Amino acid sequence: MMRPMKKIFVLGGTGFVGAHVCEKLIREGWEVTVPTRRRAHAMQIQHLPGLTVLELSVHDEGALASAMAGHDAVVNLVAVLHGDLASFEHVHVALPQKLARACIAAGVSQVVHVSALGADSLQSAKAPSMYLRTKGEGEAVLLQAAVGGSAGAAADKGFDLSILRPSVIFGAEDKFLNLFASLQRVFPVLPLAGAAARFQPVWVGDVAAAVVACLQGVSTQPSPRIIELAGPEVYTLKELVQLSAQLSGVAGGWGRPVLALPTWAGRVQALLMGLMPGEPLMSLDNLDSMKVDNVASGKYPGLASLGIRAAELKPIAQSYLKRP
C-alpha cells in the first residue's frame, strides 16, 4: 500500500462533491489547497482547519503549476453539464491538458480525476453527446500523460493516475433529486423527456470515500486505473422522479403524475429549456447523453475494490427530501 499523501490540491473543491472530498481529506489529517476564481465561492469549506483557499483561475496554466508546487497529489473535480462544444472542450479537454503539464512541472506524483459513466477514452468519438465525448477525450489526455506520453513534458515522466467514473451523484445538496421534488411541489403534472433512461445513483459520501481511498493507495489495480462508481440499484429516470416526490411527501407521498414524453416531444422540451436564461433544467446534449445507460459496465472495478460498500439511495434520500 502506498504511503498516505500529505498535501492535496483539489480543483473543484468548492462544489457539491468537492466540499465532501475536502471535509474527508481534512478528517484524515491532510493539508488541502483549493483554488477558486472568487474566495466567496469557498464559504462552505474555508472554515475547515488545514484548508487553504487560493484565488486564481485553474485555466491559467502558469498560475496553476506555480500553486501546485510542493503538493503530493491533485484531485480534479471540475466539470460542466451545459454549454456549447467550445465550453465542454475548454473544461473537459483543455483543462486536463494544462493539468497534466502542470503536474509534471510541479513534480506531483498522483492524480485522481473524476470523470463520468458513459465516458470512453478509447472510443470518445462514438459518444452520443458533447459532454461524454469531451469527458472521454479528457481521460485520454491524462492516461497518455500518466504513462509518460506527450503532455508537453519529458517522455520519461508521469504520475500515478486514478480515473473515477460515477453515475449520477445524490446527496443532501444535490441538484438532481432535490430538483425533481421541487418541481413536483409546483406542477400538477410533470412532462418528462428521457423517462426510460437508466441510472445507478451513487451517494456523494461514497464518491468522496473513493477519492480518498485512491489517494491512500487502497486499490490493487496498477496505474493508470479506471474505477466505476455506482450504487446497488438501477432506476429509470421516471422512477427516480416519482421516488423523489414520494420521499419528500408530495401529494401525501403519492407524488404527481409523470408523463413520459415521446422522443420528438422530449427533444422539443429539451430544446426550449436549453434556450431559457440561466442554467437549464435540461438541454439537448443532456438528452443525448441519456442514450447511453448511466450504469456500471462491469468492465472495470467498482466501489467494492476500494473496500467501500455502496449505500442504498432510499434511506439517505428520504433523510434530506422528507419535509416535516
Given a cut of 90, whether residue 1 has pLDDT beyond it is: no
Written as nine digits, the cell of 65 is 503549476
Pick from 276, 273, 270, 262: which is nearest to 289 by CA?
270
Which distant-in-sequence residues (6+ apart) come within 8 Å of 151 by Cβ?
Answer: 97, 100, 101, 104, 141, 144, 145
Instruction: Give pLDDT tens digits for 52-107.
Output: 999 999 999 999 999 999 999 999 999 999 899 999 999 999 999 999 999 999 99
Which pLDDT score is estimated for 6?
86
Which pLDDT score is estimated for 154?
45
Written as nine digits, the cell of 162 is 486514478
Pick from 296, 177, 305, 301: which is nearest to 233 by CA?
296
Domains and CATH numbers, the chain: 7-168+203-229 (3.40.50.720), 174-200+233-294+311-321 (3.90.25)
What average pLDDT does range 309-318 have in this prediction? 96
CA distances (Å), origin 68, targets 42, 100, 104, 108, 160: 18, 11, 10, 8, 16
Pick from 72, 45, 71, 40: which is nearest to 55 by CA?
40
- How much is the pTM? 0.93
Which pLDDT score is estimated for 153?
46
CA distance linking residue 227 with residue 115, whole number of Å:
10
What average pLDDT does range 206-220 have in this prediction? 95
Confidence class for position 324, pLDDT limits 50, 70, 90:
low
Least confident of 1-5, 117-121, 244-248: 1-5
CA distance linking residue 141 with residue 46, whole number of Å:
31
Confidence class for position 149, pLDDT limits 50, 70, 90:
low
At position 171, the amino acid (one-letter code) is G
- Please, what is the average pLDDT of the chain? 90
CA distance linking residue 223 with residue 146, whole number of Å:
8
Query: Quick one: what percent of the chain has pLDDT higher than 70?
Result: 94
Confidence class for position 288, pLDDT limits 50, 70, 90:
very high
Given a cut of 70, whether residue 155 has pLDDT beyond it is: no
Given a cut of 90, whether residue 5 has pLDDT beyond it is: no
Which pLDDT score is estimated for 39?
87
Given a cut of 50, whether residue 313 has pLDDT beyond it is: yes
